Amino acid sequence: MAHPERSHPRSGGMRYEGGTVFTLSPDRDVSLADAVEAVLREGPYRYGDWFDLPMPLFLVHDDGTGDTFRVSVRDGRVELHVRSATTAEGLRAFYDRLVDRVDGSVRVEREEQTT
């Protein structure tokens, strides 16, 4: 699992380059936005919506594992975006809770990003 590199452009702010995205695709047709929000509500997560976007996007902190990652829902899939403070344990815990919530199999794909 590759972690993104942080940079601080002269124009201000922070930018991430590279990293890993795990895409979760349930075998059943379910409301993923509702399932993700239920998993987050039930904890052990602290999370926040990301601006006013046409898709659910959350910055998530797992109080149990200490992990931080980003979660997005679109096109019938959940994407888990690895951040600097993300371990396999935290992602696995979220995955297990989502599988329990959707009551079915969930396929996982992994993509290493270079930019």
| Contact predicate 36/59, CB 8 Å | no
Instruction: Tell me the C-alpha distance between 37 and 111, whole Å.
Output: 24
CA 48 from centroid of its chain's CA atoms: 12
Q: Which CATH number fits domain 5-113: 3.10.20, 2.60.40, 3.30.160, 3.30.310?
A: 3.30.310
- 12 vs 38, higher pLDDT: 38
pLDDT confidence tier of residue 45, bands split at 50, 70 and 90: very high
pLDDT digits (tens, 9 = 90+) for 49-106: 766 777 888 999 999 999 999 999 999 999 999 887 789 999 999 999 999 999 889 9
What residues contact 18, with CB distance under 8 A and at least 6 apart? 2, 3, 4, 5, 112, 113, 114, 115
Domain boundaries, the chain: 5-113
Q: What is the mean pLDDT of residues 30-50?
A: 91
| Contact predicate 82/68, CB 8 Å | no
